[in-house]
Amino acid sequence: MDKDDMILVSVDDHVIEPPDMFANHLPRKYLADAPQVVHLPNGADVWKFRDTVVPNVALNAVAGRPKEEYGLEPSGLDEVRPGCHNVHERIKDMNAGGILASMNFPSFPGFAGRLFATEDPDFSLALVRAYNDWHIDEWCAAYPGRFIPMALPVIWDAELTAAEIRRCAAKGVHSLTFTENPAALGYPSFHNPYWNSLWQALVETDTVLSVHIGSSGQLSIPAADSPPDVMITLQPMNIVQAAADLFWSKPVKDYPDLKIALSEGGTGWIPYFLERLDRTYEMHSTWTAQDFGGRLPSEVFREHFLTCFISDPVGVRLRHEIGIDNIAWEADYPHSDSMWPGAPEQLGEVFTGVPDDEIDKMTHLNAMRWYSFDPFAHTPREQCTVAALRAAAVDHDVSVRSHSRTVLTAEEKLAAFHAQISAVAGAGR
């Protein structure tokens, strides 16, 4: 398939929330106490909510910036591409990158929204609902068919989460961002019946539990003074523990229609993981009392789990061992792993020798099916290709250029990394 003929739907991108996001959706009585963007003397912009300060970490918004500006030091909104936080500019960036549609995970509240947990349950719930309404009714609704809408959970209350799933599903939402380890956040584990109402609501509304790496705030750092390369290398592998924990949980057996996405977890490790599941079952199910009704765990895994990749040539080569219907593509805009704006060119190389029908599954058809998403209901298919989208953005500047007021030295960046890492982990990024 020619790269220009591909249709790209990304199941993992990110939004850097704009400062005014609560203005139209939070009850007036709560506005003064809502999270606020604070501009610091050093030029950085941070979200402040009571005693918690969440920096706009540079690695979260490096699209279009030279690699010299990568790092964990905080940035100002004026130092990142407007497409990070402005939906109209985001669409221009998507067009220029040949990306038809995108699912955007949250940033400052954390992937599971635990920042919004307060001692006032009504205020906490209002914050979650306001965030979801902003995301659905402003960000996604601004361009129908260009975004897969996603909801935040009421992570501290399973029943309220179930209600929020149903409320958002009525607006067309079929994705719930969630933590990969609720126990790490102080909530019951996936094995606890506490979450039964969550599973039921997901299945009833055909909503995918989208579990993003790092969503519990537990980063794989062997030592406090280890270089950032250790954390970055291990980041996708954080999802392996969540995959095992979820797979062997009771809901996978009790809810045949339960769907779980392993977001930003990569795919190359999946074939060995499936072999290990089958081996574990063969050797230990007698005494661990696991029962899949005569089926192998690898078969059951493919019924429940969507795997996601950014580039991952190994995973593409092993696609049939993973399951060609269980793979979806991610752009990861505007994070540092993203291919933007050259995803079509890089994917064209990764897909060398792959049949067109299988490329279509991995680039958009699987995402559409898993997330009950139909962009062609809004835009004719012929206008959704890489070539057609780029033609609509021919004058849009995607050149790599400096956005930072000050470029730190390597030593300063490492110091900023060690200063920020505990804060990042604590925010459940």
CATH number of the domain where residue 215 is located: 3.20.20.140
pLDDT cut 90: percent of the chain above it: 78
Average pLDDT, the chain: 92
Per-residue confidence (pLDDT) for residue 429, from 0 to 100: 40
Structural contact between residues 127 and 155, judged by C-beta atoms closer than 8 angstroms: no
Per-residue confidence (pLDDT) for residue 304, from 0 to 100: 98
Q: What is the pLDDT of residues 72-82, one digit of tens each?
A: 666 888 888 99
Reference 240, options 189, 277, 195, 208; nearest CA is: 277
Q: Structurally, how many domains does the chain consist of?
A: 1
Per-residue confidence (pLDDT) for residue 411, from 0 to 100: 76
What is the band of 427 on the pLDDT scale with cuts at 50, 70, 90? very low
Neighbouring CB atoms inside 10 A of 304's CB total 19
Rounded distance, CA 248 to CA 268, Å? 21
What is the band of 106 on the pLDDT scale with cuts at 50, 70, 90? very high
Rounded distance, CA 173 to CA 166, Å? 9
Q: Among all chains, which residue has been given the structure tokens 């080569």?
A: 317
Q: What is the pLDDT of residues 198-229, one digit of tens each?
A: 999 999 999 999 999 888 766 566 666 788 78
What is the band of 398 on the pLDDT scale with cuts at 50, 70, 90? very high
Q: Over 80: is that where the pLDDT of 2 sits?
A: yes
Q: Over 80: is that where the pLDDT of 194 sits?
A: yes
Domain that holds residue 69: 3-426
